[in-house]
């Protein structure tokens, strides 16, 4: 097949997992003989050639150079020129490369009008939807209200009331908007498919294809025995992920005093590993640690590369994954593969990975008391930790990158 990948960013310009996964899928498609081209933006300014890949970095993002999350302050005239240039570029590339499939990845930070450009190509379209960017483009009110409800513990009563009244008036004043999208959708989880359905999106067809990781290297490494604690008399807890509110790090910190109280015979240590660019939330976590007098029990550490996750998991007894919102987590798959007993919130796609009492434990999101009880249960039940570890390692074999790539290839192949 000739496949044109359309993305906002592409390595070496990377913010998160979307771009890395796109690169891995492109590389996989090249390895099995497909012709691929990637059309992406020039944001970030870095460029690199990759064997077998045609990469054009000429689209323009509506983003502030140097800080992707700062509001873009371009004038209406500048935006119009950028849109016209992006439309021209897409049409030129479609003519020159003549793809059989247009594979749309994350387009956030483009102007929403890019969706109209895509519709006009007349080629089979497939969207890979790992997060809510397309909802944010076309139904921003829905996603605003969704996250307001999700974060209601930290939103003022007046703002919540405003959202509820506005939502009620919208329902009364007009019919529910529908978004009939040309093309097909690949969702990362059943949760994401349901979220798009709630936002009233309809595609010509859709499928859930769980993402996967490369397991080959980890199988050769030494696994920690899980029927005893790594260090006698100590319980090593780990949170690994971005230190942002949606990852629920505060829930783990709030649970720690309860864990210490319920496990007086153990020295308990919580290590928080992750990117700390959200300065306001990181400060909130440090303030919470100080307020709860947990300085001796909490350690902060910088994020580690993906290939270092396995060893990180082997050095801890229990992995905590307290997300408030989680479409589908590859880090959680890495944890299963590493055999570390995991406790995850019931948010988003987590229950599709963690089977209660079998491959891990689940707790209600944002509930520190329930998280603490789950930690105590695992800390005291050595046999359960051993069983969960073994089940998790076996289950992780269902989430391989090679399996994902094959399923994506088969789905795209149906469009020829």
Q: Which has the closest alpha carbon to 299: 308, 315, 286, 313?
A: 286
330-338 and 382-395 helices, crossing angle to 10°: 120
Segment 246-252 shows an average pLDDT of: 96
Q: Is 46 a residue whose pLDDT tops 70?
A: yes
Q: Cα–Cα distance between 240 and 300 in angstroms, integer?
A: 10
Segment 121-148 shows an average pLDDT of: 92
pTM of the predicted model as reported, rounded to 2 decimal places: 0.87
Sheet (strand 267-273) strand order:
298-301, 267-273, 234-240, 318-321, 342-345, 361-363
Average pLDDT over the chain reads 90
Decide if 96 contacts 1 (C-beta within 8 A).
Answer: no
Between 222 and 190, where is the model more confident? 190
Between 175 and 187, where is the model more confident? 187
pLDDT for 402-414, tens place per residue? 999 999 999 999 8
- Note the pLDDT of residue 169: 46
Q: Specify which residues 270 forms β-bridges with.
A: 237, 298
Segment 352-371 shows an average pLDDT of: 96
Q: Is 332 a residue whose pLDDT tops 70?
A: yes
Beta strand pairing call for 125-129 and 179-187: parallel
Decide if 113 contacts 13 (C-beta within 8 A).
Answer: no
Q: How confident is the model at residue 208 (pLDDT cuts 50, 70, 90)?
A: very high
Longest dimension (CA), the chain: 70
* Burial class of 99 by CB neighbour count within 10 A (0 to 12, 13 to 18, 19+): buried
For the chain, list the domains and their CATH numbers.
Answer: 2-139+177-212+401-413 (3.40.50.2000), 218-398 (3.40.50.2000)
The separation between CA 186 and the C-alpha centre of its own chain, rounded to angstroms, equals 15
What is the DSSP secondary-structure string of 37-51?
EEEEE-TT------T
Q: Which residues contact 69 (CB under 8 A, 6 or more apart)?
A: none
Q: Which residues contact 308 (CB under 8 A, 6 or more apart)?
A: none
Segment 376-387 shows an average pLDDT of: 96
Asked which of 157-171, 301-315, 338-352 is least confident by mean pLDDT, the reply is: 157-171
Decide if 324 contacts 245 (C-beta within 8 A).
Answer: yes
Decide if 34 contacts 64 (C-beta within 8 A).
Answer: no
């Amino acid at each position: 097949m000739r496949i044109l990948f359309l993305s906002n960013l592409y390595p070496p310009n990377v913010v998160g997992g979307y771009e890395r996964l796109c690169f891995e899928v492109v590389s996989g498609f090249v390895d099995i003989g497909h012709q691929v081209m990637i059309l992406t933006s020039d944001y970030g300014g870095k460029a690199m050639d990759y064997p077998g890949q045609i990469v054009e970095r000429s689209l323009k993002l509506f983003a502030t150079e140097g800080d992707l999350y700062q509001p873009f302050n371009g004038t209406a005239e500048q935006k119009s020129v950028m849109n016209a240039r992006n439309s021209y570029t897409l049409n030129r590339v479609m003519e020159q490369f003549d793809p059989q499939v247009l594979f749309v990845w994350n387009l956030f930070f483009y102007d929403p009008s890019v969706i109209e450009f895509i519709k006009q190509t007349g080629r089979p379209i497939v969207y890979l939807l790992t997060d809510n960017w397309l909802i944010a483009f076309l139904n921003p009110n829905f996603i605003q209200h969704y996250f307001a409800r999700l974060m209601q513990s930290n939103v003022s009563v007046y703002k919540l009331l405003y959202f509820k009244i506005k939502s009620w008036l919208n329902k009364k004043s007009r019919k529910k908007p529908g978004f009939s999208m040309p093309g097909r959708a690949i969702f990362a989880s059943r949760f994401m498919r349901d979220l798009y359905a709630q936002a009233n999106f309809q595609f010509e067809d859709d499928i859930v294809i769980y993402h996967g990781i490369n397991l080959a290297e980890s199988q050769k490494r030494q696994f920690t025995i899980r029927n005893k604690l790594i260090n006698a008399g100590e319980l090593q807890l780990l949170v690994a992920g971005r230190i942002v509110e949606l990852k629920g790090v505060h829930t783990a910190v709030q649970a720690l005093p309860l864990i210490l109280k319920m496990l007086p015979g153990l020295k308990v240590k919580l290590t928080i590993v992750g990117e700390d660019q959200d300065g306001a939330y990181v400060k909130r976590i440090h303030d919470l640690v100080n307020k709860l007098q947990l300085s001796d029990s909490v350690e902060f550490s910088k994020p580690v590369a993906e290939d270092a996750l396995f060893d990180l998991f082997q050095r801890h007894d229990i992995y905590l994954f307290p997300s408030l919102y989680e479409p589908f987590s590859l880090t959680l798959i890495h944890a299963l593969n590493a055999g570390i007993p995991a406790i995850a919130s019931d948010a988003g796609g987590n229950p599709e990975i963690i089977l209660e009492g079998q491959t891990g434990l689940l707790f209600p999101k944002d509930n520190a008391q329930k998280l603490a009880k789950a930690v105590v249960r695992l800390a005291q039940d050595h046999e359960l930790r051993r069983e969960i570890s073994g089940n998790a390692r076996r289950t992780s074999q269902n989430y391989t990158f090679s399996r994902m790539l094959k399923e994506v290839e088969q789905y795209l192949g149906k469009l020829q």
